[in-house]
Amino acid sequence: MTLPDVIPVFPLPNVVFFPRMPLPLHIFEPRYRAMVRDAAQGARLIGMVLLRDDWERDYQGNPPIFATGTVGEMVRVEELADGRFNIVLRGIREYAIVRELARAPYREAVVTWRDPEGQPLPAGMRQAITELVRRYVERLGRDATPERLVPRSVDDETFVNFLAQHLDVSVLEKQALLEAPSLTERGRRLVDVLEFRLEELRMQVGSSSRGH
């Protein structure tokens, strides 16, 4: 797929989107309904991006956003009777915003594209991540069977991006994972996040025990 230099940008406060992942969305604001209609008639691409902290002060305008996001292809579009949409995006590629444009009712940006990921994870990293995820999910009291988390058959990029998008960590931690310049660095950052979270949970348990 040839990716364009200009894409529509859809900012949200609680979603960090990764390549190869699906993302269902319910579109109800008029400006973003227009975005979906225009995208459906064009390249069918929408760039997801995370809003920054002060977004609530100017949400109806152009609140601050992070510069790195992921573009998704609309693989499903359902227009409802009242003009709202249910859509599903499939993550394609990370982008960096060069500048925003002011020519449409929704946000648009000139972007540059990250090169496609070509290298697998270093030897041993996938197993290390799998073990950390298992321990983390168990600490949260959930089913941690590795095959229930991510099947062994998926490639390394899908493996890392699935965990980055779906693990119960903060959106700022997920944004830091998205901004990693390579899959290997994203894997390293994922290890760091998981180790930090496990230590945080361990300290909470220790503090609770001392309180009794």
Q: What is the DSSP string of 158-194?
A: HHHHHHHHHSSS-HHHHHHHHT-SSHHHHHHHHHHHH
Domain C-terminal end among 113, 142, 169:
113
% of the chain exceeding 90 in pLDDT: 75
* Residue 18 and residue 93 in one domain: yes
**Total-model pTM:** 0.91
pLDDT confidence of residue 86: 98
120 in a structural domain: no
Higher pLDDT among residues 148 and 47, named by residue:
47
* Residue 164 and residue 100 in one domain: no
pLDDT confidence of residue 56: 59
Higher pLDDT among residues 193 and 119, named by residue:
193
- Degrees (nearest 5) of the Cα angle 33, 170, 194? 135
* Residue 108 and residue 129 in one domain: no
118 in a structural domain: no
207 in a structural domain: yes
* Residue 100 and residue 144 in one domain: no
93-102, 176-185, 191-200, 201-210: least confident range: 201-210
pLDDT at 209 over 60: no
| 126 backbone φψ class: left, alpha, beta (φ>0; ψ -120 to 50) | alpha
10 in a structural domain: yes
Range of the domain at 135: 125-211
* Residue 100 and residue 139 in one domain: no
Neighbours of 142 (CB within 10 A): 12
**Strand partners for 10:** 48
45 in a structural domain: yes
pLDDT confidence of residue 61: 65
* Residue 107 and residue 11 in one domain: yes
Domain C-terminal end among 113, 143, 165:
113
55 in a structural domain: yes
**Average pLDDT value for residue range 201-209:** 70
* Residue 61 and residue 139 in one domain: no
38 in a structural domain: yes
pLDDT at 212 over 90: no
* Residue 147 and residue 106 in one domain: no
* Residue 140 and residue 68 in one domain: no
42 in a structural domain: yes
* Residue 132 and residue 207 in one domain: yes
Neighbours of 39 (CB within 10 A): 23
pLDDT at 206 over 70: no
pLDDT at 211 over 90: no
List the CATH number of the domain containing 44: 2.30.130.40
* Residue 159 and residue 195 in one domain: yes
pLDDT confidence of residue 143: 74
* Residue 98 and residue 133 in one domain: no
Domain count, the chain: 2
Closest by CA to 136, choosing from 202, 180, 185, 189, is 202
Distance CA 154, CA 91 (A): 16
Distance CA 9, CA 100 (A): 9
Domain C-terminal end among 79, 113, 147:
113
pLDDT tens digits, 100-149 = 999 899 999 999 999 988 889 999 999 999 999 999 988 888 876 766 77
